[in-house]
Structure 1
Amino acid sequence: MSDTPAPLQAEDASPGNAKIVYILYLVGLIVGITSIVGVVMAYIYKGDAPAWLRDHYRWQIRTFWIGVLYTLIGMLTSMILVGYLVLLFVLIWYIVRCVKGLQALDKRQPLADSGSWLF
């Protein structure tokens, strides 16, 4: 028998990069540019990830782009004051999606519905 360690299997992949993306998203609420760095990372690492981790990257990418869409809607409708409620909803929605993703990531599980537009 050889003393060389077995190669890393796809299912044993570290969720560290996905966790960094979630953290960048949350920091992005204060320092906006980190969210863009996070979505770029999600696109880069998605291809080499195992299925359960690829699900997280999909969730992160969708969170970014749907968040941009909801934010634009909120900004456009803020002239009629309802937009401020939309922007508050987007803030809560964004935080909940990041926390939900982090919880599933810590359990090394895919998300229940990574294609969802809500939570």
Structure 2
Amino acid sequence: MVSLLYIAGFVIGITGIVGLILAVVWRNEVAGTWGKSHLKFPIRTFVIGLVVGIIGAILSFVLIGTPFFLALSIWILVRSVIALLKAQKHESIADPNTWLF
């Protein structure tokens, strides 16, 4: 559900923040490694995305921020789709702490 909210955030901006809030609230309520990895992964996606987005905004002043925003969008989309596919198969995320996929 959190990953769907992140994907919807590309169209309706506020849903990404709603997804983060839900992931943080549900993080302590979920039992087992499967659920915990599926909540840690999107939380890290949001935090890393926020940091890269801030860097991209700063670099926009020197006109090189656009590639950062494009790469960030693709990165968030790929991580969200991977999380959805793993959730559909009831598989845990292998390494939810990773920066990549």
Larger radius of gyration: 1
Map 1:10-29; keep pairs closer than 5 Å: 20-29=1-10
Secondary structure of residue in 2 paired with 1:110: coil
Match of 1:86 among 68, 82, 86: 68
TM-superposed deviation, 1:79: 1.8
The structure whose RCO (Cα within 8 Å, separation 6+) is larger is 2
State the TM-score, normalized to the length of structure 2: 0.93
Amino acid at match of 1:115: N
Measured on the aligned residues, the alpha-carbon RMSD in Å equals 1.0
TM-superposed deviation, 1:27: 0.6
C-alpha distance in structure 2 between counterparts of 1:70 and 1:88, whole Å: 11
What stretches of structure 1 move > 3 A for 4+ residues in a row? none
TM-superposed deviation, 1:81: 2.1
- Percent identical residues: 37
Deviations for 1:21-48, whole angstroms, at most 9, x for unmatched residues?
Answer: 1111111112111111111100111112
1:35 has 2:5 as partner = no
Task: State the number of aligned residues.
Answer: 100
Q: What are the ranges of 5 or more consecutive residues in structure 2 without an aligned counterpart?
A: none
C-alpha distance in structure 2 between counterparts of 1:34 and 1:59, whole Å: 17
C-alpha distance in structure 2 between counterparts of 1:81 and 1:110, whole Å: 39
